[in-house]
Structure 1
Amino acid sequence: MLVSRRMSSPVITVSESTPIMEALDLMRRQNIRRTPVVNKKGKMIGIVSDKDLLNAGPSEATSLSVWEVNYLLAKLSVKDVMTKDVLTVTEDTPIEEAAYIMAENKIGGLPVMRGQEIVGLIT
């Protein structure tokens, strides 16, 4: 079976300038755990997961007030926490190969590409 038969499509993406709290809210509303990051021209430049966004905050042991934490988080955008070197597959990749790539690299999903265009996400 090919990736094209199981991928999620269309893909929800975020802009590189999206604030991390806005991206996290979008992911929660759409019930997704990762999303490709695109530049102004719509080209994929990275991927961000909910864990990337949550780990951007300070540790639980911080001495910062909630207002200070929120102020600092508001200054961070997706481009500050995204993974830049993204592994991808094409629509005609066998699903077993995609599963192997994800397992070997300990990742939960792969963008599915058609040339330079993101056409899906396989998880």
Structure 2
Amino acid sequence: MKKELVRNWMTEEVITVKPQTSLPEAHQIMMDEEIRRLPVVDDDNILIGIITLGDVRGAQPSPATSLSIWELNYLLSSLIVEKIMTPQPMTIKPEATIGDAARTMLEHRVSGLPVVDDEGKLAGIITESDIFSMVVIHEWSEGEAEVA
């Protein structure tokens, strides 16, 4: 398990957004796709940031606001991802080990890492769920081998 590589466990088909995507649109994508993070890429698929469900929630107004629902909707629709994303997020290379990915996530208190190639292009994403899946599959495989 120690020698497992990120490229073998990452999700390659990553849903992304552009910096000019509106906040409500990014939030809707997260809800529809049941994901908690969206890498933000430019037209060349270069990673420039990441937006999380926590970022979206943090940008929403307090229920104690005196603005009307129409004013709130207008303000939210004019807010774009670029304004609330985390620029230059922590990343990892496809050749890194799962142990390196897990250590980086723990040290930086993040639950997922965009995977980028040497040019900074998004190649995938590795999340806690991917690492948990790997652990379970390896544990199950090793347990079966011992029984046989």
Instruction: Give me the TM-score of the superposition, normalised by structure 2.
Output: 0.79
Measure how far apart 1:41 and its partner are. Answer: 3.2
Are positions 1:70 and 2:73 aligned together? Answer: yes
- In 2: Cα distance, 1:44 partner to 1:112 partner: 9
2:124 is aligned, of 117, 120, 123, to: 120
1:41 corresponding residue in structure 2: 44
Question: Unaligned regions of 5+ residues in structure 2, if any?
Answer: 128-148
Give the alignment of 1:1-123 within 5 angstroms: 1-115=4-118, 116-123=120-127
- In 1: Cα distance, 2:20 partner to 2:39 partner: 13
Question: Unaligned regions of 5+ residues in structure 1, if any?
Answer: none
Runs of 4 or more off by more than 6 Å in structure 1? none
Q: Secondary structure at the match of 2:114?
A: strand
- In 2: Cα distance, 1:103 partner to 1:60 partner: 33
Computing the radius of gyration from Cα coordinates, the structure with the larger value is 2
Instruction: Give me the TM-score of the superposition, normalised by structure 1.
Output: 0.94
Measure how far apart 1:51 and its partner are. Answer: 1.1
- In 1: Cα distance, 2:20 partner to 2:114 partner: 20
- The superposition leaves residues 69-89 of structure 1 with CA deviations (integer Å, 9 ceiling, x where unpaired) of 111101100001000031110
Larger helix proportion, structure 1 or 2?
2
- In 1: Cα distance, 2:102 partner to 2:65 partner: 38
- In 2: Cα distance, 1:44 partner to 1:5 partner: 20
Taking only the aligned residue pairs, the percentage that are identical comes to 42
- In 1: Cα distance, 2:44 partner to 2:73 partner: 30
Higher relative contact order (CA 8 A, sep 6+): 1
2:143 corresponding residue in structure 1: none
Larger strand proportion, structure 1 or 2?
1
The one-letter amino acid paired with 2:102 is: A
The one-letter amino acid paired with 1:119 is: A
Measure how far apart 1:38 and its partner are. Answer: 1.2
